[in-house]
Structure 1
Amino acid sequence: MSDETSTSTLIEESQDILRQTEALMAEAVNATGEEAKALQARVVRALERAKLSLGEAEKAALAKAGKAAKATDTYVRDNPWKAVGLGAAIGVVVGMLIARR
């Protein structure tokens, strides 16, 4: 499984957990006594799962960003003039877009 797929899956799982928690909270509005305590415990467990899942997604995203930064650094070190040219070209394009306004 690729990093992008695993990050996407983790985010989807987190969103699903949050939707389930939202449904539990809606049920809890009308619950009383032991039923309310049980629903509260389920909500707490669901939120803990969501927190863990989002933490994993964050770790995956940071790892991916680190790899991208390292690859960029390597490219710039290996091709400094290409990097300067690319930066200048991007600057010209951005300048032209700003001037159009």
Structure 2
Amino acid sequence: MARITAKNAQEILKADLQTLVNDAERLLEHSAALAGDQADELRDKIKLSLDKARASLEDTKESLHERGEAAVTAAEDYVQSNPWQSVGIAAGVGFLIGLLATRR
């Protein structure tokens, strides 16, 4: 699978969903006038658009999952190689949160 960046995946997903919305609007506008083969053809087109949008959503989900796992791994590696710095950073963040929480 080619690596998809989050921004590219978002753009692809947006385009696919826009196509799906356009096809659905066309179906609603012409549903009363269409009969038989025309209605079936439009339904097939909408089904293809929906399938493409679902595939894009799945690719985006997988990409985000991979990036999340990479971030967790990087954080774990940093903490293991710099334990005292990690403790200091956590203490500092906790102190700042405490200050903000007591300010009213």
TM-score (norm: length of structure 2): 0.86
Residue 77 of structure 1 corresponds to: 80
Residue 60 of structure 1 corresponds to: 63
Taking the aligned partners of 2:87 and 2:12, their CA distance within structure 1 comes to 41
- 2:5 aligned counterpart, secondary structure: helix
TM-score (norm: length of structure 1): 0.89
Taking the aligned partners of 2:103 and 2:43, their CA distance within structure 1 comes to 56
Q: Count matched residues.
A: 98
Instruction: Report the identity percentage.
Output: 23
Point out where structure 1 has 5 or more consecutive residues left out of the alignment.
none
Taking the aligned partners of 1:35 and 1:96, their CA distance within structure 2 comes to 66
Structure 1's consecutive aligned runs of 4 or more residues displaced over 3 angstroms after TM superposition are none
- After TM superposition, list the pairs within 5 Å mapping 1:1-101 onto structure 2: 6-29=5-28, 30-31=30-31, 32-33=34-35, 34-101=37-104
Taking the aligned partners of 1:40 and 1:86, their CA distance within structure 2 comes to 56
Q: CA RMSD in A?
A: 1.4
Taking the aligned partners of 1:58 and 1:74, their CA distance within structure 2 comes to 24
Q: CA deviation at 1:16?
A: 1.1
Tell me which protein shows more helix as a share of its residues: 1
Q: CA deviation at 1:49?
A: 0.7
Q: CA deviation at 1:36?
A: 1.8
Q: CA deviation at 1:64?
A: 0.8
Q: What per-residue deviation string (whole Å, max 9, x for no partner) do you get for residues 2-57 of structure 1? A: x6x72211121111111111111111112321222111111111111111111111
Paired letter, 2:44 = A
Point out where structure 2 has 5 or more consecutive residues left out of the alignment.
none
